Structures are given as structure tokens and as C-alpha cells.
Amino acid sequence: MKKVIFSILFLMTCSMSYSQINMMVDSVSGTPKTFDIKKFKKVSIVSEEEYNYMAKGYWSQIENGLDMKKGYEIENTDGYAMNYTNYIFTFYPLMKLNADKTKSLVGYIIKAHSKVSGSDYHYAMPATADDVMIKRTFDSIRLLDYSMTAAFFQCYVKFMNGCSY
């Protein structure tokens, strides 16, 4: 019964406040920034090493002024930011540089910022993952409080809907 009530409240929260999400706009054109996912191949299954890099390694490099992991790049170093009431979620697509000069989407490095506490949180959202990795991803996000978790999933859905397929 608790799960049913939680699900109903979550869906009500999603439907009532979805319009409050604002995508950050391009500073030159003034239009919302969107991510064109069509132009990239997807990797098979994200490896444990790649997942750990998205979840922690990338941010350690940034904080220590180190170079990007060899063979990878961030598609848009400004990220794709979404502002939702007390939170800002920024999605950074991590790309793998393939031998044939194409790029594959590994997943999204996500920075979640709470305007209330001033704290930043970092997450990984693999583009393709097995069940264990998916569980690990969502378990880490669920550690946030309810309002930030709900805001995250609303922004993630809106971000993915804003992607050009």
C-alpha cells in the first residue's frame, strides 16, 4: 500500500510541476540547448571503468586540473543545464572517440546542485547498461532527499525529451 501511495504522489508531483523546469538557453542565440543524439553511435555496454570515470573520475580530474581521460571527450563542456525550483541539474554527454574517427555516447556525467544547501552532487547515467549498473545508478540517485530525487527525474525526462532522436 505504501508503494502505491508513493507512486501516486510521485506521479502527481511530476505532472503538476513539469512545466516549472527551464532549460538553460544558448547565450548567443537565446534558444534552449538541445543534444543531438542521432549523430553518435552508442557503445555496447558501459564498462565498470567507464561508469566509475563518469561517477567520480571526471570530477576528480576537473578539481585537480588534470587532462581528460585519453580516448574520451565531453560533447559540450558547458553541459546542458536544467533549472528546477531549488535545483540545477547539468548533463555532460561523455563521448568515446572510436578508431574510425566516429564518436560513441558512453553516457551522461551529471552535476546536481542544490540552491538551498549550496551542495553539489555527481552522478553517472550510462547510455547502455546491464541490470547491475542500472540498479547502481538509481540507488545512488535515490540517496538524495525526496524533493531533489523527484526534481532530478523530472529534469532527466525533460532533457531526454529535448534530445533530437
The residues spanned by each domain of the chain are: 2-162
For the cut 90, the answer to whether the pLDDT of residue 113 exceeds it is yes
What is the pTM assigned to this prediction? 0.74
Rounded to whole angstroms, the Cα distance separating 19 from 55 reads 29
CA distances from 52 to 49, 92, 118, 137 (A): 5, 15, 24, 11
Cell of 63: 578539481
How far apart are the C-alpha atoms of 102 and 95, rounded to whole Å? 10
- Residues of the chain with pLDDT > 70, as a percent, come to 71
Q: pLDDT by residue (tens digit) across 5-47? A: 334 334 434 443 334 444 555 555 556 656 666 666 666 678 8
At 66-91, the pLDDT tens digits run 888 999 999 878 888 888 889 999 99
